[in-house]
Structure 1
Amino acid sequence: MTVPQHRTRPVRHGRRFDLRATAMFFGLLATALIAGGFAVRALSGVVERRPVWAVVLLCLVCAALPLHRRRRRRLSAARIARRATEALEQATTTALDALDEPRPAPVAPAPVPGQRRERAAGPVIGAPAVPDYGALDPEEFEKAIAALCERDGCTRVEVVGGAGDLGADVVALSPDGRRVVVQCKRYGDDHKVGSQDLQRFGGTCFTVHEADVAVVVTTSDFTQPALEYAAQCGIVCVDREALLAWSDGLTPRPWAVTAGEAGA
């Protein structure tokens, strides 16, 4: 007896199901649908306002469809998903490489002309640089001394120097209420303040300006006779080194110094 043979249907090998590609395809499809909806909504508004433009646009679309059909080719969703994944991986690699690159060291700011660096012995780290008083003109020097007085608690600080000032360049009230009268001598290193300068100031600081504290500040130094006269009259002398120490906060304020000690 002959047993009939049953033909087996050939197994068709299709493409494997790719979850990532399918999700990417539906995501792109949803985006296209949303964009199409907005486009249709915008076109409907244009049709209502400009019907002639709508007719022209429709004619252009009808003319372009045959050309598009000839050149159209099928796009694979898996290919689109693969390209998008490769682009994402490349962007991630670039970002990680950028994070791994060493950052350049911060560049120190260039020094400002007319200023010197803060001394290492200064009491406050990171404090602003002290001006180079020798590089200032007389008017700028007076303003710098007035700023020091104001910084250290003086009130009613005024720069009164000029023609007819009778020796007073800066006047102020100390924190304890005393009247401070300052004469500023912006001299060079080779020009010391002499006794005649002190005598002229001593003749007006107490009688004319009614100073409780009389101070002479210079970018240079004082002669010995000038220091002796200042000690006799009660005038506080502040030479270059004492001025820098005052600026750095390393010495008592001139109105807190006994006359003659500041420049000694």
Structure 2
Amino acid sequence: MTRKRRRRRPSAARRRYESRRGALLSGGVLALLLLTAFWAEIWPYVVGTAVTGGMGGALWWLRRTDRLIRGRDRRWREADAIGAGQRSLAEVDAMSWQEFERYVADLCRRDGCTDVEVSGRSGDLGADVTGTLPDGRRLVVQCKHYAPHRYVPSGDMQKFVGTAWLHHKADVAVFAATCPFSRPALSLAVQHGILAVHRDLLGLWNTGTPLPELLPLNGTGQGDHTHRRRWKNTYGS
């Protein structure tokens, strides 16, 4: 004799799930019927809500994209600034003149300068690096990558004085070199308001001193005759 299998009753959780699903389906059908019946009266509100929601979504996406771009740019600048401050002067000495110009541009960017450009060519009339300081002033930089035992002659400074203000319309003019300046060149720079970044000031700039803080130090820091003779004996052989 065959035994009849007892039909299992659904669990309480299953019954609650089916009840909620049925209620949702019924509510959806009712909403669709009401929407169809009153579409002529409510369609402007539906369209307005959809447009407002779309505009809000677009605004959220634009703000999110802007934050991501700004974050990547900030991280790039921080990494670039760290790299600029980690080089030793010996590594700077080993650069080519083109690499030195790009390095000076990196230091400017590290200090918050914007629109920084490197000419990278001859005939630039002394404007090897240009940019805008954080306070809005126009920056023009002449770069000279000389051996540490050499001196920037007054002739180089005279040429830059003749172009920095009148031709390039600089608000701040900087002459950055990997060596000291001759006494006439340094005197000429101070007289005409050119910041002479000699080797000692370049060391300060390289290790994190912002460019605006070097301006009051113009004309100082090259050391005495003994200091300069030691540089010549060390690097001039």
Following the alignment from structure 2 to structure 1, what is the Cα–Cα distance between the partners of residues 177 and 201? 9
Change in Cα spacing, 1:256 to 1:176, as seen in structure 2 (3 Å) is: farther
Change in Cα spacing, 1:243 to 1:127, as seen in structure 2 (3 Å) is: closer
DSSP 3-state at the match of 1:139: helix
Change in Cα spacing, 1:262 to 1:130, as seen in structure 2 (3 Å) is: farther
How do residues 14-163 of structure 1 correspond to structure 2 at under 5 angstroms?
129-131=86-88, 132-163=91-122
Residue 207 of structure 1 corresponds to: 166
Change in Cα spacing, 1:259 to 1:245, as seen in structure 2 (3 Å) is: closer
Check the 8 A contact 1:167/1:204 in 2, yes or no.
yes
Which consecutive unaligned segments of at least 5 residues does structure 1 have? 1-124
Residue 26 of structure 1 corresponds to: none
2:216 aligned with 1:258: yes
* Alpha-carbon offset, residue 127 of structure 1: 9.5
| Percent of aligned pairs sharing the same letter | 49
Change in Cα spacing, 1:202 to 1:127, as seen in structure 2 (3 Å) is: closer
Following the alignment from structure 1 to structure 2, what is the Cα–Cα distance between the partners of residues 140 and 213? 22
Check the 8 A contact 2:100/2:145 in 1, yes or no.
yes
Structure 1 counterpart of 2:97, one-letter code: P
Following the alignment from structure 1 to structure 2, what is the Cα–Cα distance between the partners of residues 163 and 126? 27
Check the 8 A contact 1:236/1:262 in 2, yes or no.
no
Residue 218 of structure 1 corresponds to: 177
Check the 8 A contact 1:181/1:214 in 2, yes or no.
yes
Change in Cα spacing, 1:127 to 1:210, as seen in structure 2 (3 Å) is: closer
Check the 8 A contact 2:173/2:194 in 1, yes or no.
yes
* Alpha-carbon offset, residue 244 of structure 1: 1.4
Count of matched residue positions in the alignment of Structure 1 and Structure 2: 139
Q: Which has the larger radius of gyration?
A: 1
TM-score by length of structure 2 reads 0.54
TM-score by length of structure 1 reads 0.49
Structure 2 counterpart of 1:191, one-letter code: R
Check the 8 A contact 2:86/2:207 in 1, yes or no.
no
* Alpha-carbon offset, residue 129 of structure 1: 2.3
Residue 180 of structure 1 corresponds to: 139
CA RMSD across the alignment: 2.3
Residue 50 of structure 1 corresponds to: none
Change in Cα spacing, 1:256 to 1:241, as seen in structure 2 (3 Å) is: closer
Check the 8 A contact 1:231/1:259 in 2, yes or no.
no
Change in Cα spacing, 1:203 to 1:232, as seen in structure 2 (3 Å) is: same
Following the alignment from structure 1 to structure 2, what is the Cα–Cα distance between the partners of residues 152 and 253? 7
Which consecutive unaligned segments of at least 5 residues does structure 2 have? 1-81, 223-237
Following the alignment from structure 1 to structure 2, what is the Cα–Cα distance between the partners of residues 192 and 128? 24
Which ranges of 4 or more aligned residues in structure 1 deviate by more than 2 Å?
A: 125-129, 258-264
Structure 2 counterpart of 1:219, one-letter code: T
DSSP 3-state at the match of 1:198: helix
Residue 202 of structure 2 corresponds to: 243
Q: What are the superposed Cα offsets for residues 127-179 of structure 1, whole Å, 9 maximum, x if unpaired?
A: 96225210000000000000000011000000013121011100010000000
* Alpha-carbon offset, residue 190 of structure 1: 2.4
